[in-house]
Amino acid sequence: MPDPATSSAVLRVVVTTALGALPLAGASVTVSTAADQPGERTLLYSVRTDQNGMTPPMELPTPPLSNSMTPDSGTPFSLYTVEVAKEGYTPLTALHIPMFPGIPAVLPVALTPLEENQPSSQTDLTATGDPQVLYHSEPDGEE
């Protein structure tokens, strides 16, 4: 039985060409913690995609499941940053990827090919603002 004080979730990243047309083998994928107050992150994984454009499963720490049981129990998820790059394609960064305890996630990433002689530039996949606010509805419909 899992320890209720510590939890984790598995993340896999699927990398394809634009619009998901073809899988991209050999793409570099890094997973790190979301930036803290001084803007620092901790690298957790640095992997490459296989011939199907898929990373190996990456187990990431999450808060305990009990944080999801009541509104005042604390944040029920952990946030991560995923960066994907492959030569000849515009690299992407996915910010504020939420991971909930025990819930596996697949992050699809479509890379756009660079035009010939075009310099590479970083593009954000998600907003850089605050994490999504989660709401809890009362059974009688009042919030």
pLDDT for the residue 137:
44
pLDDT for the residue 135:
45
User: Strand, helix or coil at 69?
Assistant: coil
pLDDT for the residue 123:
52
Q: Identify the helix (H) or strand (E) that includes residue 43.
A: strand 43-48
Q: Report residue 18: phi and psi, to 5°.
A: -50, 140
pLDDT for the residue 29:
97
Alpha-carbon torsion (114, 81, 133, 66), positive or negative: positive
| Unique residue bearing structure tokens 């930036």 | 35
7 with 59: CB under 8 angstroms? no
Domain 7-124 CATH superfamily: Carboxypeptidase-like, regulatory domain (2.60.40.1120)
pLDDT for the residue 130:
54
Model confidence at 128, in pLDDT bands (50, 70, 90)?
Answer: very low
Q: What pTM was estimated for this model as a whole?
A: 0.76
Map out the domains of the chain as residue ranges: 7-124
Model confidence at 5, in pLDDT bands (50, 70, 90)?
Answer: low
Q: Which two tokens stand for residue 40?
A: 């620092």
pLDDT digits (tens, 9 = 90+) for 43-102: 999 999 999 999 999 999 999 988 888 888 888 999 999 999 999 999 999 999 999 999
